[in-house]
Structure 1
């Protein structure tokens, strides 16, 4: 007899979905079985070699990272040791400049004519300046005065140009304010005046020894 059972409208669709899910599950199970079968067939020595290579690569990467970290830390420690006082030293330079200006306010002749009290005061200022520079140098801060040196924009700051025939053009003819180095870095550039150099020698026509003598006939 023919099947006269009446099904709900969505019954056929549900049955199809169930069949599709069952097929997908069976396919996944078969794939896992195939993978396990392939793994089981792989040579154990090959698997161990691959695993050892992976561990070796990870170890080398870790060692390289540790070495980079060590070098970076050493560099940071060295910079902190050498340049940690840069801001403080830069502020102290103003004190050294004022002492130098005080000593330069009186020339040697006036100092000789000064009374004993003034001489003692100037000697004390001079001694204090020397001690200050010694302490700065102890901590890596060194003073430099580049007189007669070639102008270097990395170390010097040109304030003006002056004509000076005794010096080649581009050399430091006057140090307006000394510079300071801290380690290998410039703490403060020196303020200088740069020489333009003397006038170039004019080209003169050499004298003719035969001038005034008429040419002889051949």
Structure 2
């Protein structure tokens, strides 16, 4: 063998064991057993670390799921708490309507409720948007009817049955609108029969 070639049997012998062949077979066997025991302990330690890591990951996943469920369950708590005074004002308005309060008092109560509810919604990022007189936009409007309107350009919003709302600039609910269409041509004008 040349000095750069290695004996393939040398790769099977652990590097900390003597390879000169002068060692006693019992000593060599003892060293091999000690090396095997050391590697077995190392493998057991690695296995225990692996099992612990898997358990920690599983626990973290379960904890995150519990936290997410708790967040979802209580996320709207602050908003709902702010809506309770609005509900109180509805009850007061109903009491006023049932009593001998005039229509003006009931109207004032309902207007107060509307302002308070809009304030709560705006605090949460919900804002109404105006549609009347604008061109129909399918991202902001949902057409519920087309109506002939001679004084308005075609596809202009001429009526609104439900206001649209944005949540932080994105459409939360489109406005329900009536859209102008060109008036039908009069059939009797062009009829020469």
TM-score w.r.t. length of structure 1 = 0.40
Larger Rg: 1
TM-score by length of 2: 0.44
